[in-house]
Chain A
Amino acid sequence: MIPQAFAYRRASSVAEAIAILQEDSGAKLLAGGHSLLPLMKMRLANPATLVDISGVKELRGIQRVGDEMVIGALTTHAEVAKHPLIRTHLPALAEAAARIGDLQVRNRGTIGGNLAHADPSSDLPAVAIAYDARLTVMGPAGRDVLAAEDFFLGPMVTALPDGQVISSVAVPIPASNTRSAYVKCPHPASGYAVVGVAAAVAVSADGTVEHARISVTGAADCAYRARQVEEALVGKTASLETVHEAAQYAAEDGWIGSDVYASEEYRRHLCCVYTKRVLQKVLL
């Protein structure tokens, strides 16, 4: 399959990319291309212009800045998955990145492209929400910061304003008493999450859950924060009983849907099962 013809422009800086996006409303950004090119080959997306930002150096790299890990938008899933500081401080992010697609896809796909694409079955949105990640976006008026929690609005729909560029993702390093994990039920053919659950939970010295952020992807029209699970955890003793009690609310905060692979009822069931599993990993 060959994509429809398009004009190709290469940006050498974020400012240049923004300028092209402003002057050409049919332009789309191209990073690794692993979400966009398959859509273009199937003619589900036909942008008039592609702005290749893969050479923009300022969008690359992973660094610790204070109490945050700042990940450049062009960082590939493979780079995220193997980075020592990410593996140490943000294990759920490393786990999720290591399970996206396959080896070849992880070598090309980027964190910024993945989040901007906002596939409802993608792994990273759940992790970004559970870790309370912040997306730095740049536009003609300058820089803005969006919380991951408010970023995903629907299938392939985000709060990213037209003509703006995600430049980096900042993830706060959780307190030392926080444990985090990501588990998923992968679709047997595509590997996408039928349901995926990310959890970051802090437990105090006496075994009480101090703080919990849980996010579910795959099940609903977009990744969502499972607030009712969080509320059922905080203040309780970290126990199997608490896990079972809290996990039953896993599907309550999302707009759970059916498709050819999984019915709504089945997805709701999976939400609870995988929430139990991830909570057992981080709490018990």
Chain B
Amino acid sequence: MEGSKCSVTLSVNGTSYTREVEARLLLVHFLRDELGLTGTHVGCDTSQCGACTVLLDRKAVKSCTVLAVQADGCEVTTIEGLGRIDKLHPLQEGFWEKHGLQCGFCTPGVIMTAAGLLDENPHPTEEEIREGLEGVICRCTGYQNIVRAIQYAADRTHQAEPEPVVEVAASAPTGAQDSLRQEGEDA
């Protein structure tokens, strides 16, 4: 059977892309092969390990279990969109400072999962962090330093937003950091 081709338009890290893709193309392959964003990794490819986690409309999802066509019209944030090399996101800084990685293969997915967790729950308890990490597998660290890295990021994000009411709108950075600060619900 011929695979049907569909047009998809999605925003990735703030840039809009339109592509003709086969309906069966997975979002992770769209990101890696169509856009060259290889920071999102393919680990187990069976919705277990979480290495492919990205934010889809600010929610952490496993991009090996989402079709690119399902992301049509959505905003995707990958690890490449989270911080800049000269201004790391608090989570990236936390993983650096707290040695939250060894081989690094799972790290992009773990960081994006943590970004989704902190977006919904900016001050998680250690137990909530560990529960939030249920959908990622790290075979190096034993998770302890990952938990510390996320706690570091939660503390930093907290310090960075003293009075959230008016100032955030005026001084919020664009892109993913912005999305991390917003409250509220997508329909």
- List the interface of chain A (C-beta within 8 A of B): 1-8, 30, 33-34, 37-38, 41-42, 48, 50, 52, 54, 60, 78, 101-105, 107-108, 189-191
Contact = CB atoms under 8 A, between A and B. Distances in A.
B85 interface: no
B47 A6 contact: no
Nearest to A8: B23
Interface residues of B, number: 36
Nearest to B73: A55
Interface centre among A38, A52, A104, A107 (most CB of B within 10 A): A104
A108 B65 contact: yes
Given A4-B24, A102-B134, A33 B3 contact: no
A34 B65 contact: yes
A107 B74 CA distance: 14
B24 A107 contact: no
A103 B4 contact: no
Given A8-B6, A102-B134, A107 B1 contact: no
Contacts of B25: 2
Nearest to A82: B120
B134 A103 contact: yes
Q: Is the interface of A mostly helix, strand, loop or mixed?
A: loop
B115 to A, nearest CB: 11
B61 interface: yes
Given A7-B23, A41-B46, A103-B60, A33 B67 contact: yes
B176 interface: no
Nearest to A55: B73
Nearest to B47: A38
Given A33-B65, A38-B65, A54-B70, A103 B117 contact: yes
Contact of A5 (B2, B47, B66, B134): B2
Contacts of A30: 70
Nearest to B117: A103
B116 interface: yes
B23 A50 contact: yes
Contacts of A78: 59
B24 A2 contact: yes
